[in-house]
Structure 1
């Protein structure tokens, strides 16, 4: 569980990486274009690093359906942010396009976050032979594609089977085991009951033997469970984040960086993995 990612060391046996989200998209799931303008994206990158983010995940195309974004447009959106962020934290790029992956790795990205789950196996080719980490995510449909009313007989078993199959694709194409992180894909082609079940049994995903990423921040399964709109899901997100860490997640993808960092670091301390910043009370 010891990894070097983006030139930084991580011991996932005793630490959890907090991944901040910076989207250069006008139609992003949560921030609705707040960081679409380059200057706003760069400000968000600096703020995330100052607030303790270990990784910064940069997206140029949302997973959900929307207007066409060409590979050239995607690169125009993400490359300047990659170049600005690479000295501040591990840079991740959320993309399903191999040509984009190659370009951002060359620019200094340490992680490719493929929410398509290697739907294009050439993504594995783009990562193989580099030092980049590949996040393999479960989803039933391709990005930008509707998939209403998804059905599973056993969502956790089916997600694990999918991830194992895509793992074999990556390894067969030369991606090293130490380059791989798995993401069960909360809410991606899943309803709220599916995501809750997957969270409850996240340890089964972690048992596949690779660091597991939980991308649960402000998602609809939290909103529907608590009857909260997008702007009021922080408490639910923090509860889900801590629960996922206790179930084995070692990377958490979040919008509200400072609050998530505090929740994760406090969890690490209670597990005996981290010393307090200082001790003065009753001494």
Structure 2
């Protein structure tokens, strides 16, 4: 399975690690650490040394209850980092829902638009559709970051997520975007209960029936804290375990903070998978 992006065609036969770079003051686990351009670019380089395949740069926190960030502020945070990151020789993703930010970063050579709103903001789908090749990740979110955990989803989670993601992907293809450019994210933690998040993990393979690669973002999420009792800064081992389980259940991309440890764990997983393959 291949993922076509602006500058790279990614072979998803090997699960890809997307390393998180939060150029924000208020992200839930590392807010403020990489707010300066220099610090963010140093983190980009460190994540690549640790084994990241993709860099995902964000300029607005989407943790539960987080306030929205204005367009000019987000551009000021993201654009200087993107200018440096696109020279590092790897796919660069930008985590944004604003069409103006999408257009600006695509003009700088960004490879992937990673949108928690699944291109539902006015004009966002058109920006992606008008780009000849960029990759896109469509995520399911119930509600919005300000309210999603105040009133999480009700009822069976998987049918709702499946239906939404299928409709979103089909709508984008109707605008002329090739299927091979699209990856789907079930949106762990975005308006879902702890039980619903783990139900999505347990039944994640059913998302593959839609015919798109799946991206999983479990890193340091509160659901991991709920079942382990660990604070956000202590969730390394649960995060790696969740990433491995997501890959075992068919995820082709894992979005993580702790790249080195995830890469080490996936090396063990790949060794096991290779050993299971019959010799010709």
1:225 aligned partner: 227
1:66 aligned partner: 66
1:168 aligned partner: 170
Higher mean alpha-carbon deviation, 171-180 vs 265-274, is at 265-274
Cα distance in 2 between the residues matched to 1:273 and 1:85: 36
Q: Secondary structure at the match of 1:33?
A: coil
8 Å CA contact 2:3–2:182 kept in 1: the answer is no
Cα distance in 1 between the residues matched to 2:224 and 2:259: 18
Q: CA deviation at 1:145?
A: 4.2
Cα distance in 1 between the residues matched to 2:55 and 2:101: 17
1:27 aligned partner: 26
Cα distance in 2 between the residues matched to 1:181 and 1:170: 12
Cα distance in 1 between the residues matched to 2:95 and 2:175: 21
Change in 2 beyond 3 A, CA 1:143/1:123: farther
1:196 aligned partner: 198
Cα distance in 2 between the residues matched to 1:150 and 1:4: 33
1:117 aligned partner: 118
- Give 1:1-283 correspondences, 5 Å limit: 1-12=1-12, 14-64=13-63, 65-88=65-88, 89-120=90-121, 122-130=123-131, 131-272=133-274
TM-score normalised by the chain length of structure 1 = 0.92
Q: Secondary structure at the match of 2:33?
A: coil
8 Å CA contact 2:136–2:181 kept in 1: the answer is yes
8 Å CA contact 2:153–2:191 kept in 1: the answer is no
Cα distance in 1 between the residues matched to 2:58 and 2:269: 28
Cα distance in 2 between the residues matched to 1:147 and 1:241: 22
Q: 5+ residue gaps in structure 1?
A: 275-283
Q: Secondary structure at the match of 1:128?
A: helix
Q: Secondary structure at the match of 2:48?
A: helix
Once the two structures are superposed, residues 155-204 of structure 1 have per-residue CA deviations (whole angstroms, 9 ceiling, x without a partner) of 01111111011112211222211110000000100111110111111001
Q: CA deviation at 1:92?
A: 0.4
Aligned residues: 274
Cα distance in 2 between the residues matched to 1:171 and 1:124: 10
Instruction: Quote the RMSD (CA, aligned, Å).
Output: 1.8
Q: Secondary structure at the match of 2:137?
A: strand
Q: CA deviation at 1:232?
A: 1.0
1:279 aligned partner: none
Q: Secondary structure at the match of 1:75?
A: helix
TM-score normalised by the chain length of structure 2 = 0.92
8 Å CA contact 1:117–1:137 kept in 2: the answer is yes
8 Å CA contact 2:4–2:134 kept in 1: the answer is no
Change in 2 beyond 3 A, CA 1:269/1:197: same
Higher mean alpha-carbon deviation, 128-137 vs 243-252, is at 128-137
Q: Secondary structure at the match of 2:197?
A: helix
Q: Secondary structure at the match of 2:125?
A: helix
